[in-house]
Structure 1
């Protein structure tokens, strides 16, 4: 294999300054790496930001969605390394972070997917490990009033795995798509993103498929920072996309009679 690590990064009209910070974080690694940036924007304005030979730019000329765009990148470079990183354009991390994740995966061959500790840019922790969602979890979390969320507080805390010790590694069947450190062997076994999900829920689906065959693990010894804009809370178009993806997810895996969800969540 040519590289230690490959990465794909999908953008759509992202802030150039924020994107440069993400690229700088990846390029600070001492690992041999190859990153492909897939641009879903209307114009290829981000092309000029790619100045390092370890990075390649692909202008998609259409917004095909998050998962489908990452698939375009992965199909081009997936066989070049043992590990692949799905990276959001609003994520940064310190030098040495990728090396630690690489070493941890090397010493734990049963892990197929890894997520580090995540905080926002003010240092507040983000709880991005979750159990497999039921329809009620998503409905109350997104649309419930403060009163309703208070009633279901215990359930929501359990869904976000806040009953776990976030200072220690643990398994979680759903790890956030903002930063997904994959063993390529796992992706070859379960496949790439399901392109029926234009945006949202594709990370749940892929994490779940990997979890069926490998461990999917939260690893707090490495920390990243994530903008975590939660844009579906601010834009109706993205809210609609989120709802459509949730419907497709439950149509695929089951609404109320998802035996695997019940067993996985009970085991955790």
Structure 2
């Protein structure tokens, strides 16, 4: 307890997390692209998600709905990225933007939070993430239990896929949903226990500043999708852990962006899947495998386009 806190008094917002005086605001980065009403719901949920103050940076990738502009305020800053940079580049831009505040001691210098604008936090969720990170001193990233709209838990903490499984899932996951490679990719998704995983969903991550910077942040070659798998894999290769914290709960409107911008997201998903797998197939002797993977993903995209056309009646 702080020496200025009377015995039995209620916690002061922004202080006393895990029995320590944590008065510095926690930086929260969210990437916006016409998020609609989801954004305000996210911001409203922050108040009960933590007893500490937060400082939000909205890295805006060219919203046209006015939602980020309307949400800006004293502790909610709008950062215009100058165009649709994609997810990872926008997060990295916000991190660079926050660096002077971190150096001057205006925000927490140990942790920051990255969260999608279509997420809402359950009460106490952020404090649970911080407490978990303190229990796992080698955790570079900590993620919550993600509830979907139907109340089910989204499998947000998985092993990094072995190459054969990753290729099979990338090529067939949307075409033949019960294929053996996708089943293997999704196996072992225990969501009720605090544990280490190979990677965590990027929809909500508590990150250690030092670890994020040590691996160079998000790989900006990924426009969207797979950047969280890549980040988790690189943290693991650097000797840091990705930890699932199921006592922290969020709700995510899964696929909000994909539903609205599928003409962009489907090609982006294929490009990112290729990037992730091709990076792990280096060398001239693996060039035929990379070429076959590229052709396979293009064929998968063609099948999905045909299915979408049939579904729309065209």
> TM-score, normalising length from structure 2?
0.73
Partner residue in 1 for 2:245: 219
**Superposition map of 1:142-221 within 5 A:** 142=174, 144-145=175-176, 149-152=177-180, 155-161=181-187, 163-212=188-237, 213-221=239-247
How far apart are residue 164 of structure 1 and its match?
4.5
The 8 Å contact of residues 11 and 37 in structure 1, kept in 2 or not, is answered as: yes
Cα separation, partners in 2 of 1:70 and 1:224, compared to 1, 3 Å: same
How far apart are residue 87 of structure 1 and its match?
0.4
How far apart are residue 151 of structure 1 and its match?
4.1
How far apart are residue 108 of structure 1 and its match?
2.0
Give secondary structure in 2 for the equivalent of 1:150.
coil
The 8 Å contact of residues 42 and 62 in structure 1, kept in 2 or not, is answered as: no
Partner residue in 1 for 2:44: 24
- Relative CO higher for 1 or 2, CA cutoff 8 Å, sep ≥ 6? 1
CA distance in 2, matches of 1:199, 1:67: 7
| 1:60 counterpart = 2:81 | yes
CA distance in 2, matches of 1:5, 1:42: 25
**CA offsets, 1:185-208, max 9 Å, x none?**
211221111111111111111111
**CA offsets, 1:74-95, max 9 Å, x none?**
1121534211111001100122
| Residue 41 of structure 1, aligned match among 58, 62, 69 | 62
**CA offsets, 1:125-157, max 9 Å, x none?**
111222223211222212x23xxx3341xx434
CA distance in 1, matches of 2:25, 2:136: 16
Partner residue in 1 for 2:277: 250
Considering only CA atoms, is the larger Rg found in Structure 1 or Structure 2? 2
How far apart are residue 23 of structure 1 and its match?
1.1
Superposed CA RMSD: 2.3
Q: Which runs of 5+ in 2 are unaligned?
A: 1-21, 287-314
| 1:117 counterpart = 2:145 | yes
How far apart are residue 42 of structure 1 and its match?
4.9
| Residue 77 of structure 1, aligned match among 98, 101, 105 | 98
CA distance in 2, matches of 1:222, 1:158: 27
CA distance in 2, matches of 1:44, 1:58: 16
Q: Which runs of 5+ in 1 are unaligned?
A: 258-268
